[in-house]
């Protein structure tokens, strides 16, 4: 047997062990790959390294909410980005008058609400006291985008980590409680309320609403 040719074929074959397949089952699949190189296996003539591959898979079950309802929250969270895309920093200073806040402050308040819900999923207690005091946040489209991305990633990671048993636990909202699953449903309602307010601002500003907003919010 040609030793060099055999090792070349072996490496080519093992390169195909990690072909990515569609995730069609209700679990998160994490692939961990470790290459173990033996210095004594170097082939100087053609610089081929004989590798032994240790390939493992860890299956992490997804909870019921992630399977059935999470796409609603993820998709609705994602609709804030198209809104911000059509705005300039100057637009965030718009105020329709009366007792209303500026458009930028409206976005900031939505972020504070999402933060409150994120924490409630960890502590099982709702606390509305948080205020983001970062200077200039509500006057900067780019900063708002970054903040919402961080909040959305935190929420997804938090909900993903919950078990089905956790979903049945209750969140103390101050005077009354509700199951975690219902808490998430109420957060979705808070998002829709925000979009309802934001569209009024944008219409007064004579802005063309993004297609997603036109179809789902009006």
Q: pLDDT tens for residues 47-105?
A: 443 443 343 344 557 899 999 999 999 999 999 999 999 999 999 999 999 999 999 99
pLDDT one-digit tens code per residue, 104-155: 999 999 999 999 999 999 999 999 999 999 999 999 999 999 999 999 999 9
- Supply the CATH number for residue 166's domain: 1.20.120.450
User: Both 203 and 97 in a single domain?
Assistant: yes
H or E stretch at 152:
helix 141-161
Q: What is the pLDDT of residue 60?
A: 56
User: Both 39 and 85 in a single domain?
Assistant: no
User: Both 21 and 99 in a single domain?
Assistant: no
User: Both 135 and 44 in a single domain?
Assistant: no
User: Both 90 and 139 in a single domain?
Assistant: yes
Neighbour tally for 194: CB within 10 Å: 22
Residue 5 has pLDDT above 80, yes or no: no
User: Both 172 and 140 in a single domain?
Assistant: yes
User: Both 170 and 104 in a single domain?
Assistant: yes
Q: What is the pLDDT of residue 10?
A: 40
Count of domains for the chain: 2
**Separation CA 200–CA 193 (nearest Å):** 11
The better pLDDT of the pair 136, 6 is held by 136
User: Both 24 and 81 in a single domain?
Assistant: no
User: Both 109 and 131 in a single domain?
Assistant: yes
Q: 212: helix, coil or strand?
A: helix
Mean pLDDT of the chain: 81
For 144, residues 6+ apart whose C-beta sits below 8 A from its C-beta are 84, 92, 104, 107, 108, 111, 137, 138
Query: Which residue range is the domain that position 54 belongs to?
Result: 3-61
Q: What is the pLDDT of residue 166?
A: 95
Residue that finishes a domain, picked among 45, 61, 77: 61
Across 21-27, average pLDDT = 39
Confidence of residue 159 (pLDDT cuts 50, 70, 90): very high
């Amino acid at each position: 047997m040609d030793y060099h040719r055999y090792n070349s074929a072996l490496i080519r074959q093992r390169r195909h062990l990690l072909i990515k397949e569609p995730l069609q089952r209700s679990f998160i699949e994490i692939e961990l790959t470790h290459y173990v190189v033996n210095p004594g296996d170097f082939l100087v003539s053609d610089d081929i390294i004989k590798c032994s591959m240790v390939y493992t898979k860890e299956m992490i079950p997804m909870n019921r909410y992630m399977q059935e309802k999470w796409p609603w929250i993820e998709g609705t969270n994602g609709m804030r980005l198209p809104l911000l895309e059509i705005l300039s920093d100057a637009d965030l200073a718009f105020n329709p008058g009366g007792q209303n806040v500026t458009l930028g402050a409206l976005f900031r308040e939505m972020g504070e609400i999402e933060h409150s819900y994120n924490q409630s999923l960890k502590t099982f207690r709702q606390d509305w006291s948080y205020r983001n005091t970062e200077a200039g946040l509500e006057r900067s489209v780019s900063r708002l985008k970054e903040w919402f991305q961080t909040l959305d990633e935190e929420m997804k990671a938090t909900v993903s980590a919950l078990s089905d048993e956790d979903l049945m636990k209750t969140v103390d909202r101050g005077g009354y409680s509700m199951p975690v699953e219902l808490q998430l449903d109420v957060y979705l309602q808070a998002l829709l309320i925000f979009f309802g307010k934001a569209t009024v601002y944008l219409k007064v500003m004579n802005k063309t609403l993004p297609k997603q907003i036109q179809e789902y919010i009006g």
